[in-house]
Structure 1
Amino acid sequence: MSDLRWAVVASRELGDADRSALRELWDDAFGERFSDDDADHAFGGVHVIARDDEGRPVAHASAVPRRLRVGETWFEAAYVEAVAVARARRRQGLGTIAMELLADQIAAGWPFAMLSTGSHGFYERLGWRRWAGRSLTRRADGAEEFDDEHGGLMVLVPDGVPVPGLDLTLDVVCEDRAGDAW
């Protein structure tokens, strides 16, 4: 892995070439499952990127700010997006390194983070916990509806420090957005 250069960068620091290269990584990692909306969701926060000796991104994870309500309390939290490793570089620990570096960024800027995944074991090894409550989406008109993310959401509380009002058994609500709300 000595051929890799790791960087933590804000979305505003990424140019068009960077964004295009990241999209190529995501297409390689996810195929057709990764939409333009998914790509858009990955921007607006902070990125951890590993680049190979030719400058191509081979691993990525980002955290973006999201307004989330737990029970009756609204939080400004981090939401993790676009965690990806190039197919040719899988099983080398790059995803773990990316998520550990991202956890440092989360701890520095947010009370907690959430993500949606089907790979619970990977994240549990890194200290993430499954959300036990139901998940809902708040539409633009203020109505809230249950969605299909129940069981897929996970939460990370940096350093295990309790966050007042953060009860993993309560309903969690996100505001709707284009593509997948969660």
Structure 2
Amino acid sequence: MIMYFSLNYQWFPVAGRYDLLYEIDHVTGFALIDALLSDGPYRKEALQSVIEHMILPCLVLALSPTMQVIRMMRTSVTEVMSQNYIRAARIRGLSNYEIVIEHVLRNAIPPIIPKLGVQLSSMITLAIMTESIFNWPGVGRWLLDALSNQDTRLFKRVYWLWRLSF
């Protein structure tokens, strides 16, 4: 995505959290909130820069898990749609909207929920790679630094911070 959107078309920046032209005070540590809270004369441009820098990392982090959930949901819905109680609902004269809301989604979503928990571990792995590629500071970067320095104390702190967030 960096090569295609940043280097070939120059639509998005390559790395970092915002352009270095803008001076943003680090109040909260979140670039978007810090850009909103800044009092500089170029506040709108700094906010736009932060948003432009966020688009590619957010796409990279969200694309794979979203596609997996869509694929699982599609499989589950096609399985439920072939059940006899869906045919019975159509015979009773229910509309497609009522069938989907009352019968299909209610029975298609529960098998997917346990699989979402497994995706959390893959999201941490994706966060480590994404934060190192796009040069973003975060939990993934901390974990990568702790592993490369063999710092078990930092690794345990980051792990417990992650566990407390859920």
TM-score, with normalisation over the residues of structure 2? 0.26
Q: Which has the higher strand share?
A: 1
TM-score, with normalisation over the residues of structure 1? 0.25
Larger Rg: 2
